[in-house]
Amino acid sequence: MTAGPLVDVRGLEKRFTVGGAWLRGRQRVVRAVDGISFMIERGEVLGLVGESGCGKSTTGRLILRLIEPSAGSVHFEGHDLMALSASRLWATRQRMQIVFQDPFASLNPRMRVGQIIGEPLAIYARADAAERRRQVSELLDVVGLAATVAERYPHELSGGQRQRIGIAAALALRPSLIVADEPVSALDVSVQAQVLNLLMDLRARFGLTYLFISHDLHVVLHMSDRVAVMYLGEIVEIGPRAALHEQPRHPYTQVLLSAAPVADPTLRRQRIVPRGEVASPLAVPSGCRFHPRCPFAFERCRVERPTLRTIGARHEAACHLNDAG
């Protein structure tokens, strides 16, 4: 183990080419993730929030190298993931896992729960069959399910139980990093709270580090030590939870905070409703990408692309308004 952050992302980019096939028009490039840099400390929860198509899920997959970046680097536990040989990458993957949004789609319907959770142990030859069974019941216990669930199939279980199984499978190899990609978005609110609490408990119990991805700002603020806000492939603001919540310095963060409905009529505030809709990543606006929707945009925003600047303790925002002082 080396000191330093668990994850160090620098200048990460992912471009997808769309169209160009027969009858599909000319080829165009989507900049899904467009040069982002951030770190995740050991034991920290970094939240990643943004609207659909902002690149947050792509970022999660790039960090695990489930998809190949177009440019930039990801260091995990001090190793450059892009430079690792196939076998070293395979070995490193044990330490980084992912939990998906849809437990209905991510669990193999033909496998029993015991096989699903035991599969990573089998693949990495961590244990023989008897030891695997023992570890599977231990993992089921850890995520709050009865050992008998091991004999069931995913379709026999509720959404919340399935998500617990996804989490147990992710924990099987004792990872240090878990990318949780919208882990509660498909769940009812009463079940959502159970799963969020479980993720918090597991973090404390196993010293886990999370990249917690969600479109729901309140859930992200609830779960995270620090939060990064993404818009059209860029991080526009990143900082500690309290700073982001109480003193957001990017208009998009302010808009997200103001637009999210709060279940409390006494907190019904003056809204900043943004103009228009999220621009297509195929036609990214010039200058600041948010300027066509920004209530505070001025001339410079239309021409010059702002970069992330430090504006407080571990707090950075990419907005020309912060230059004025």
Per DSSP bridges, beta strands 45-49 and 226-231 are parallel
The nearest distance, CB 110 to another protein, in angstroms, is 22
The nearest distance, CB 261 to another protein, in angstroms, is 3
Residues with Cβ within 8 Å of residue 258, at least 6 apart in sequence = 269, 270, 271, 272, 273
Does residue 245 bind another protein (CB under 8 A)?
yes
- Rounded to 5 degrees, φ, ψ at 189 are -60, -40
**Both tokens assigned to 48:** 């990643």
CA–CA separation, 166 vs 202, rounded Å?
13
Per DSSP bridges, beta strands 226-231 and 177-181 are unpaired
**Both tokens assigned to 261:** 């409905």
Nearer to another protein, 132 or 203 (CB): 203
CA–CA separation, 97 vs 23, rounded Å?
39
**Site for another protein (CB under 8 A): which residue of 9, 208, 217, 318?**
217
Nearer to another protein, 81 or 221 (CB): 221
Task: State the SS3 of 139-155.
Answer: HHHHCCCCHHHHHCCHH
Residue ranges in 267-296 that form contacts with another protein under rule CB under 8 A: 267-268, 271, 273-274, 277-278, 293
- Hey, is 58 helix, strand or coil? helix
Does residue 110 bind another protein (CB under 8 A)?
no
The nearest distance, CB 146 to another protein, in angstroms, is 13
Does residue 192 bind another protein (CB under 8 A)?
yes
Does residue 126 bind another protein (CB under 8 A)?
no
Does residue 202 bind another protein (CB under 8 A)?
no
Nearer to another protein, 93 or 203 (CB): 203
What number of chain residues touch another protein (CB under 8 A)? 42
Does residue 255 bind another protein (CB under 8 A)?
yes
The nearest distance, CB 264 to another protein, in angstroms, is 6
Per DSSP bridges, beta strands 45-49 and 28-40 are unpaired
Does residue 265 bind another protein (CB under 8 A)?
yes
**Both tokens assigned to 155:** 């379709």
**Both tokens assigned to 194:** 């159970």
Q: By CB under 8 A, name the binding residues for another protein.
A: 51-52, 158, 160, 188-194, 196-197, 200, 215, 217-219, 221-223, 241, 245, 255-256, 258-268, 271, 273-274, 277-278, 293
